[in-house]
Amino acid sequence: MEHKLLDQLRSVADVQPPQVMTRQERLDRWITLLEQDPTRRLTSLEEIEYRPPAERARVREDNSPLSVAFDDPILRADGLASDRVGDAMSFFGLTEGQVHYAFCSCMSGRSMDASAFAQRLRNAVSNSDVHAAVGMWALAAAALAVPAILYLLG
């Protein structure tokens, strides 16, 4: 094997630094990977909401949606460090609520088809703005309704 300096390689090849994927590109790739084998049974994350935050970040399961992402060489090359919850949250920019909704056993049972996990992940990340808006409207409605009810009862 002959070794050459980067400047020497540039004279014979178009050498480009690797492109870093955007958050949306990472999420889209993960969803695509899950949808490639839609009937594959994957393991959900066991009741992650009951674990302390430090322990929750270390949670992993064999044959889970997170392991599907970590098995992908492109996502690993882009910086996905492991198939643990904390690394997935950091790499994909997910909140604890999104991870819980998409992958927790209390939401999906002990296992589910990969296509169902893909849809849950898609819903979790696409509806975050909608959920925030609905939450704000619900809070505003409650703020207006409580004094009105107290006035009527009082």
pLDDT tens per residue, range 5-36: 766 766 777 656 567 899 999 999 999 999 99
pLDDT tens per residue, range 43-74: 999 999 999 989 999 999 999 999 999 999 99
Q: What is the pLDDT of residue 128?
A: 54
Q: What is the pLDDT of residue 18?
A: 65
Three-class DSSP category at 61: coil
Q: What is the pLDDT of residue 63?
A: 97
Supply the pTM of this predicted model: 0.72
Q: What is the pLDDT of residue 135?
A: 55
User: C-alpha distances in angstroms, 93 versus 27, 54, 123, 134, 141?
Assistant: 9, 17, 15, 21, 30
Average pLDDT over residues 124-144: 63
Q: What is the pLDDT of residue 32?
A: 98
Three-class DSSP category at 22: coil
Query: Distance between CA 90 and CA 58 in Å, rounded?
Result: 12
Q: Answer whether residue 134 shows pLDDT above 80.
A: no
Other Cβ atoms within 10 Å of 35 Cβ, number: 14
Query: Distance between CA 90 and CA 75 in Å, rounded?
Result: 13
Average pLDDT over residues 91-100: 96
Q: Answer whether residue 38 shows pLDDT above 60.
A: yes
Q: Answer whether residue 41 shows pLDDT above 90.
A: yes
| Domain residue ranges of the chain, discontinuous segments joined by + | 6-128
Q: Answer whether residue 138 shows pLDDT above 60.
A: no
